[in-house]
A and B are shown apart, each in its own frame.
Chain A
Amino acid sequence: MSEHNEHHELGFIRTYVFSIDHKVIGIQYAITGLLFLFFGFCLMMLMRWQLAYPGEALPLIASWFENSQMMPGGVMSPDLYNSFGAMHGTIMVFLGVVPLAVGGFGNYLVPLQIGAPDMAFPKLNAASYWSYFVGGVVMLCSFFLPGGPAQSGWTSYPPLSILASTGQTAWLIGMVFLITSSLLGSINIIVTIVQLRAKGLSFFRMPFLVWAQFVTSFLLVLAFPPLEAAAVFQLMDRVAGTSFFMPSGLVVGGMPLQVAGGGNPVLWQHLFWFLAHPEVYVLILPALGIVTEIIANNTRKPLYGYKTMVYSVLFLGFMSFIVWAHHMFMTGMGTTMSNFFQTTTMIISIPSVILITCLIITLWGGSIRFNLPMMFALAFLPMFAIGGLTGLPLGLATSDIYLHDTYYVIGHFHYVVAPGTLFALFAGIYYWYPKVTGRMMNNLLGKLHFWISFLAINGIFMPMFIQGFAGVSRRLHTPNFYAHAQAVQGTNVFMSISAWVLGAAQLFFIINFFLSLKAGKRASDNPWDATTLEWATPTPPPHGNFLQEPVVHRGPYEYSVPGKATDYIPQQVS
């Protein structure tokens, strides 16, 4: 590849901005993703004020907006609340976690872990990042549109989304860019893994993270096109007068609506969830891959049931395509359909149980090091378990009748993606930071970050189950409007305070991130005594990654092999 030979001639812009090096693009993805996560979290902290103290003026920022339509008197209007809700969901999922997990970790680590000099298509990789960037900019700009950004939830169910203000058009355009970005990126990862593995690196010698990224990419490639098509349909419904999702005879605000009609709003839900359920695994699987790497490394023993885990993750990927309608039990589904989707939903819990069982048995007989990445990785396990378990009563159509669209659902999926996936991503950042920057992160700041986050995040999401039992609907601007919700209003105050504590705890991470860049302890090439190929490169890895082409001699987790001088044998050591 000629690109690799000319890198020293490139200027600053070509090296750090419009780079085609997978590592730079990975870092760009990760930084952009982290910024979006932070922004999305700030929206949530504002919403939590309204939820804890409904109708009271927002602190600090109220005076800036006193005369705005969205915040009369500094109090959050329902429109503003709905748009923050929609943007929080969209930003966290599509602009935060996926770009960080797949774009950031996938881009940076996959070529390194398989011993490749770069991605298979370096320029496509750059195109993928810039498509994501444009999508993100469109989403952010929608905050300045009259009427504000999208307000119909991150699910954008029509007809509400089609009747909504201009922000929804921006949302759809942004989504088309983001989906395109994910498609390009995932095709790249698949081809890279299939074509560019180092000599000797058979599929069953690949680190589990590579497997997780591989399956994730297939999910994206197969699930995103239907949503892309659906987003274009919805865009046409909004701007070109079609009615894919608009039934006949709508009367909005007392006036008959002039649309062609004949569409069906449930069609959107099928197309949306056909993506958005696999999307859940797109969020989880890279996180699971990261956790697996860290746990194998820090228990100092081989992963228990590596092959079983690989088969489970493949099966999980396959099953994720046939569970989508469990999000739609309340739309008038018949017995046969509901039985099918309940059954597949219960079946998909089995590979998840196997994965988590393998990880916990890996601890057995180990010599566990409690360093920063390991603490976050270990915390992932019970959090993911709570998230997974609470999916069961939602997957059973009968109990879903009561729990559907209550805070129970919000608690469930946040346990999967917030204390679950995000903790795993933090684990990954602490683990690979020395490889990327050449310096270690500060231990004390990291521990403060961990313990406060761990307590606070449970303080946010655990009471959501209580609210769910009490029957509090989701997406309520004034949470105590109904009698049954007044009984649990106290939990909202507790959750909001927890959320602000969690926000404050992230300052330790931010300080640590920048401070360590300058003042962190210098890291060796392999600071964790790890076995996989990325640690065989110089730190940080140069353009082209490996000084000489690596040859792989063994599986990824050869720790504590009896009779050897060190307790690990790297994959490339013959």
Chain B
Amino acid sequence: MDSPSIYGWWLPPDVSAHGAIIDQIILIMHVFMVALFVGWGLFFVYCLVRFRQRPGHKARHEIPHSKLPKFLEIGVVIFEAFILVGLSYPAWSKLRTAFPPRESATNIRIVAQQFGWNIHYPGKDGVFGRTDPKLVSDSNTIGLDLNDPNAKDDITTLGQLHFPVDKPVIANLTSKDVIHSLFIPVLRVKHDAIPGMNVPIWWEAKQTGQFEIACAQLCGNGHTTMRGFVSIDTPEEYAAWMAEKEKELEPAPQ
């Protein structure tokens, strides 16, 4: 497992290709917030000291009109507008809608359940087999229909998410029972897994390593322990892992 030493009191390291903009917005916003709050706080304390009640000091009914607060407010609005339109709009649109072509990506399905993550690989043919909730059993947790020719080479794992580095991953996310939320902190990936919905998300990793998947949405009494493992492999490691999984399929489980 990933060593705790990479984690600390700030954001964890970012191993994704897309996460930089998220980190950047978080950082810019916090610098802005701290600056605003400190400035505001100094003015606040100054007012409290200078205008405290004391003998000989009287409150003024009218205070001279100052344009400064208006300018500050307009400044805040312009800054927010810039972050919103300049950074957040384009980043969101890229992260959520600019999918890479399916052929150039590692395609997977992620089916959440209480309390684990089923990862479904399409196998050699690149086509996901049919699934049916009626076929769900202990050995077939996503209800894969083995009579479907496309399903014969499909690979499923419970909580073991492998994918190669430097290649986009497109994951179709859904859930069997309640709402879960896929959260991989180091990849800056978070998305709800909602039963009855099949939502594609994508990411690309730029570093190899072993990390954790957490569940971010309360999903029952096992919410805490709904851990999955991510392995970002080199292409060779990924191929080797895939080959091993394919070998396991050979006795053709019924």
Which A residues are closer than 8 A to B by beta carbons? 77-79, 82, 85, 151-153, 157-160, 163, 247-254, 256-257, 263-266, 299-302, 304, 330-335, 338-339, 342-343, 346, 349-350, 353-354, 357, 360-361, 363-370, 378, 381-382, 385-386, 389-390, 392-393, 396-399, 401-406, 466, 469-471, 473-478, 481-484, 486-488, 559-562, 567
Known contacts A264-B196, A398-B88: A470-B12 contact under CB 8 Å: yes
Known contacts A346-B81, A393-B26, A477-B224: A360-B196 contact under CB 8 Å: no
Question: Do the beta carbons of B215 and A473 come within 8 Å of each other?
Answer: yes
Q: Does B245 contact A (CB under 8 A)?
A: no
What's the least CB distance linking A269 to chain B, in Å? Answer: 9
Query: Considering the complex of A and B, which 8 residue pairs feature the smallest CB-CB distances, nearest first?
Result: A247-B196, A471-B185, A78-B221, A367-B59, A405-B216, A487-B7, A300-B59, A332-B199
B91-99, B120-128, B151-159, B232-240: which one contacts chain A? B91-99
Contacts of A393 in B (CB 8 A): 25-26, 29-30, 33
**A484 and chain B: residue at smallest CB distance:** B7
24 A-B contact pairs sorted by A residue (CB < 8 Å)? A160-B218, A249-B133, A250-B176, A252-B176, A254-B138, A300-B59, A335-B89, A354-B73, A367-B58, A368-B53, A370-B52, A370-B53, A381-B44, A382-B41, A392-B29, A392-B33, A404-B181, A476-B224, A477-B224, A483-B4, A484-B185, A486-B7, A488-B7, A567-B59
Known contacts A335-B97, A353-B76, A398-B87: A560-B60 contact under CB 8 Å: yes
User: Interface residues of B, CB < 8 Å — how many?
Assistant: 94
Q: Does B114 contact A (CB under 8 A)?
A: yes
**How distant is the Cα of A77 from the Cα of B222 in the complex, in angstroms?**
10
**A564 and chain B: residue at smallest CB distance:** B61
How many A-B residue pairs have C-beta atoms within 8 angstroms? Tell me: 291
Contacts of B73 in A (CB 8 A): 350, 353-354, 357
Contacts of A265 in B (CB 8 A): 179, 194-196
**How distant is the Cα of A441 from the Cα of B43 in the complex, in angstroms?**
31
Question: Do the beta carbons of A152 and B218 come within 8 Å of each other?
Answer: yes
CB interface residues, B 193-215, toward A, < 8 Å: 194-197, 199, 212, 214-215
Which B residues are closer than 8 A to A by beta carbons? 1-4, 7-12, 19, 21-23, 25-26, 29-30, 33, 36-37, 40-41, 43-44, 47-48, 51-53, 57-61, 63, 69, 72-73, 76-77, 80-81, 83-84, 87-89, 91-93, 95-97, 113-114, 133-134, 136-138, 141, 143, 176-179, 181, 183, 185, 188-192, 194-197, 199, 212, 214-225, 227
A264-B197, A342-B89, A470-B7 given; name 6 further pairs at CB < 8 Å.
Answer: A159-B179, A247-B195, A304-B63, A332-B192, A366-B60, A471-B183
Question: Do the beta carbons of A160 and B88 come within 8 Å of each other?
Answer: no
Question: Do the beta carbons of A331 and B114 come within 8 Å of each other?
Answer: no
Question: Do the beta carbons of A470 and B8 come within 8 Å of each other?
Answer: yes
**A332 and chain B: residue at smallest CB distance:** B199
Known contacts A251-B176, A363-B48, A559-B61: A350-B95 contact under CB 8 Å: no
What's the least CB distance linking A357 to chain B, in Å? Answer: 5
Question: Do the beta carbons of A476 and B76 come within 8 Å of each other?
Answer: no
Residue in A256, A304, A385, A562 whose CB lies within 8 Å of B136: A256
Question: Do the beta carbons of B51 and A364 come within 8 Å of each other?
Answer: yes
What's the least CB distance linking B190 to chain A, in Å? Answer: 5
What's the least CB distance linking A78 to chain B, in Å? Answer: 4
Question: Do the beta carbons of A363 and B223 come within 8 Å of each other?
Answer: no
Main secondary structure of the interface of B (DSSP, over half): mixed
Question: Do the beta carbons of A398 and B25 come within 8 Å of each other?
Answer: yes
Contacts of B176 in A (CB 8 A): 250-252
Question: Do the beta carbons of A159 and B177 come within 8 Å of each other?
Answer: yes
What's the least CB distance linking B179 to chain A, in Å? Answer: 6
**How distant is the Cα of A115 from the Cα of B224 in the complex, in angstroms?**
54
Contacts of A405 in B (CB 8 A): 181, 183, 190, 216-217
Contacts of A253 in B (CB 8 A): 114, 177
Question: Do the beta carbons of B190 and A368 come within 8 Å of each other?
Answer: no
Contacts of B40 in A (CB 8 A): 360, 382, 385
Question: Do the beta carbons of B21 and A398 come within 8 Å of each other?
Answer: yes
Contacts of B183 in A (CB 8 A): 405, 471, 473
Known contacts A339-B89, A403-B26, A483-B3: A334-B59 contact under CB 8 Å: no
**B201 and chain A: residue at smallest CB distance:** A332
Question: Do the beta carbons of A484 and B199 come within 8 Å of each other?
Answer: no
Contacts of B189 in A (CB 8 A): 401
